[in-house]
Amino acid sequence: MVEGNMDSDEYINILANHFIPWVDNYLNSIFQQDGASCHTSTYTVWWMKTHNIPILDWVMQSPNLNLIENLWNHLDSQVRKRKPVPRSKQELIGIIQDEWRKITIETCQHLILSMPNWVKAVIKAKGGHTKY
């Protein structure tokens, strides 16, 4: 769990110790990240190149077709449904972790299968706002 803002060192630590070992199980994967400063810092760019991690170019102001955004929205919705409302940061963290563990493979599959509809909506809106 990241507390506060993430810097390049913390981002690379997460990549090196958690993401890369997991993604190495998948061949021909391309990494996607947005324009967050920890993603675009000189150090991060150097680290990614040094570790031969292919990165999908991210066009500024592009429509967000990142599946994780809808997963975050799902998580947020589930957390907000919880009663009573958490009274402390620790309670909130516990609820978030509990709801994260409840996310099913079916929920993730639903998001993946909805991707063609996202793309069609973005094309129809000519890159503008969509319901997604």
Q: What is the pLDDT of residue 27?
A: 63
Distance CA 58, CA 33 (A): 7
Residue 55's nearest CA partner among 21, 5, 22, 15 is: 15
**Residues 72 and 120 grouped into a single domain:** yes
Q: What is the pLDDT of residue 85?
A: 92
Q: What is the pLDDT of residue 129?
A: 76
**Residues 27 and 71 grouped into a single domain:** no
For residue 57, being part of any structural domain is answered with no
For residue 56, being part of any structural domain is answered with no
**Residues 73 and 108 grouped into a single domain:** yes
For residue 72, being part of any structural domain is answered with yes
How many domains, in total, are found in the chain?
Answer: 2
**Residues 29 and 75 grouped into a single domain:** no
Q: How far, rounded to the nearest angstrom, does the alpha carbon of residue 105 sit from its chain's CA centroid?
A: 16
| Mean pLDDT of the 67-78 span | 89
pLDDT digits (tens, 9 = 90+) for 27-69: 677 787 887 899 999 999 999 999 888 888 776 666 667 778 8
pLDDT digits (tens, 9 = 90+) for 91-119: 999 999 999 999 999 999 998 898 899 88
**Residues 34 and 73 grouped into a single domain:** no
Enclosing domain of residue 100: 67-124
**Residues 72 and 106 grouped into a single domain:** yes
